[in-house]
Amino acid sequence: MAQSALLNVMITAAMKAGRILARDFGEVQNLQVSMKGPADFVSAADRRAEETVYRELSRARPDWGFLMEERGAVEGRDPQHRWIVDPLDGTTNFLHGLPIFAVSIALERDGEIVAGVIFNPAMDELFTAEKGGGAFMNDRRIRVAARQRMPEALFGTGVPFLGKGDHPGFLYELRQIMGESAGIRRYGAAALDLAYVASGRLDGFWERALQPWDVAAGAILVREAGGFLTGIEGEPFDHIRGDVVCGNEFMHKALVTELGKATAKRKAARSPAS
């Protein structure tokens, strides 16, 4: 596959950071039995990976800004371009020795995502996409799944955790989709969830209140793989807002419809009896 110079820069940064994470991941299980535990070690690994990505991308395009999970927003002299980076998506998985984590890098141009790279070093899987150029995994073209019946479909989602998110609302959504589908998976790394939709491993995905660095690279992967991606109610997708529903044309519409039913059921349950 032909790659632009910019995409090569992003791939190089992601793979260098990924090698650091892969080395540190090898130490995590040794730390599981220590009294202190691996949390501090993983936080340091996250920072090392982010520093590597920051250094590589800054060297290639010194005037461009950043939006990063750890550093936050870094203004650049070029207001048109910004890198959106998650150096370790799936931190909790990494912490527990689960090989489902990734480096995620997206390029934003005038507010639009035009390129994305997601790299899982534990599985040696590199997902890439550029606007108008298609989506790829390890140089092989990928497409969203073609299924058109929800009872045959496998969906991904994110589950609100301790102190975060709307737990009651999510349970309505979960019950609704469970009753219509072949199954639901919660991998704990939204960037990879989106990459899995793009590659046909998942038929669809939904989650609320994600961060820009969680969804930016995955969003262009889904679109370039022929998928549809919007907000929860079918409104235009906004990577800054972070609510997402995606899949092929049929599965996307079906998910939006079923999630709407879940919202309606919750509202009905909360309304006083007439």
Same domain for 137 and 194: no
Domain's final residue, options 82, 106, 141: 141
- The pLDDT assigned to 4 comes to 93
Residue positions forming the annotated binding site:
69, 86, 88-89, 214
112 and 230 in one domain?
Answer: no
Domain that holds residue 158: 150-270
For residues 253 and 259, the answer to whether their CB atoms sit within 8 Å is: no
Res 100 pLDDT > 70: yes
Stated as kind and residue range, the H or E segment containing 57 is helix 39-60
Angle at 98 (CA atoms; ends 95, 99), nearest 5 degrees? 115
45 and 158 both lie in a single domain: no
Same domain, 126 and 40: yes
pTM, two decimals, is 0.94
Range of lowest pLDDT (66-70, 111-115, 210-214, 249-253): 66-70
CATH number at residue 255: 3.40.190.80
Regarding whether 127 and 20 lie in a shared domain, the answer is yes
Q: Are residues 130 and 155 in the same domain?
A: no
Choosing from 110, 141, 172, the residue where a domain stops is 141
| Binding site residue list for Mg(2+) | 69, 86, 88-89, 214
Enumerate residues 6+ apart whose C-beta is below 8 A from 154: 181, 182, 183, 184, 185, 201, 202, 203
Amino acid at 238: D
Residues 53 and 160 grouped into a single domain: no
Residues 74 and 108 in one domain: yes
What single DSSP character describes residue 152?
G
Report pLDDT for 38: 59
Out of 107, 141, 175, a domain closes at 141
